[in-house]
Structure 1
Amino acid sequence: MGKVTSQSSTEPRWIDLEGVANMRDVGGLPAADGHTVQPGRLLRSDNLQDLTPEDIRLLIERHGLTDVVDLRSDVELRITGPGPLRDFDTVVHHHHSLFPDDKEIDTRDVLVLPWHDTDEPKLHDNARASHYLSYLARRPDSVAAALEVIATSSGATVVHCAAGKDRTGTVVAMALSVAGVPREEIVADYVASTERTERIVHRLERLPGYSDNLRDVPMTAHHSRPETITRVLEAIDADYGSVAGWLRSVGWSEDQIAALRDKLVA
Structure 2
Amino acid sequence: MGAPADLEFEDAIQQRIYHHVETSGAATIGEVRDEVRIDSPSGSKPARSGTTEPRVRIPAEEFHNSVAALVDSGLLVQSEGELHLAMDDDVEEYDETDLSYRIRQAHQSDWRGIETAIREVADEGASISAKRVAADIGDEGALLRRNDRRSRMFYVATVTGGENDGEVAGWVHLDAPELDELRHTAELTVGVRGPYREHGIGGRLLERAMNWAAETDFTKVYQSLPATNETAIELLQDYGWETEAVRPDHYLVGDEFVDEVMMARKL
Task: Give the structure-1-normalised TM-score.
Answer: 0.26
Between Structure 1 and Structure 2, which shows a larger proportion of helix residues? 1
Which of 1 and 2 has greater Rg? Answer: 2
Task: Give the structure-2-normalised TM-score.
Answer: 0.26
